Amino acid sequence: MSVKTRRQREAQARRESILKAARKLFWKQGFAGTTMPKIAAAAELAPGTLYLYFPSKSALYAELLVEGYGLLLERLEKVSPSSAGTPAGAIPTGKGAADRGELDVLVDAFLGFAAEQPEYFRIIFFVLQGESTAGRSAALDARQIRRLQDLENRCKSAALRLVTAAHADQPAAESAATADALWAMLAGVVFFWSDTAQFPAVARQAKKLLGRGLFG
C-alpha cells in the first residue's frame, strides 16, 4: 500500500469517526447543546484537527442529514412497487392503481428506518425543530437547505406517488398536501411512541387509519 493510499484511508476513517461521534452528541444533547470541542473530544481529536474536516457545526450537521436522508431514500426505493411496463421504483398511476398493501410496505419502511436508525431519524425530524421556531433555516446556509430539501422531496415522492395513484382525479396541490400529512403523521407516531411498549400496536393502528383515509 502506497503512502498516499494509506493516508487517504486514515483520513476517511477519521472522518467517519467524527460523524459517528457527532451523530450521537446531536441525538443526545441537541444541536444547541453540542459544540465542536465536545465533538472533537468524543472523536479523540484536537479541535484544530476537527476543523480540517468540517469548517463548522452546521456543516457537520448538514452532512449527517445528507447521510440520513440517503439511508431513508434507499429503504423507500427498495419497497416502492413496480408493475409490468412501469419502471422499478415508481408506483403505477391511474385510478385504483394503488392499494393498501402498497401503503403498508411504505409505512413499514418508514417506521423500520426509525426503529433501526434512531439517531439519524431524530436528527432528520426532531433535533433542530425542537430547539428553534426557525428550524433548520436558522442553522444551515441556503445551499445546504436547497440540497436537503431536494433529498427530502425525493423521499416524500414515494408517498406522493402512492397518493396520486390512489386518487388520480385529485388536484395536484391536494395530493401534495395529503402526502405531506401522511409523512407528518408517521413522524408523529415515532416521536410520541417509539420508546414505549405500545409502539407496535400504535403503528398497526396508524396503518389502518391511513388505509381508511386513502382508500376508504
Give the mean model confidence (pLDDT) for residues 106-112.
Answer: 92
The model's pTM is 0.82
| Cα–Cα distance list, 76 to 22, 37, 38, 81, 170 (Å) | 25, 36, 34, 10, 24
| Beta carbons of 6 and 50 less than 8 angstroms apart | no
Radius of gyration, CA atoms only, the chain: 20
Cα–Cα dist 213/216, whole Å: 6
| Beta carbons of 103 and 211 less than 8 angstroms apart | yes
* Residue carrying C-alpha cell 472523536: 43
Query: 81 or 105: which carries more pLDDT confidence?
Result: 105
Give the mean model confidence (pLDDT) for residues 195-214.
Answer: 91
* Complete domains list, the chain, with CATH: 1-55 (1.10.10.60), 56-215 (1.10.357.10)
Residue 92: pLDDT band (50, 70, 90) is very low
C-alpha cell at 2: 502506497
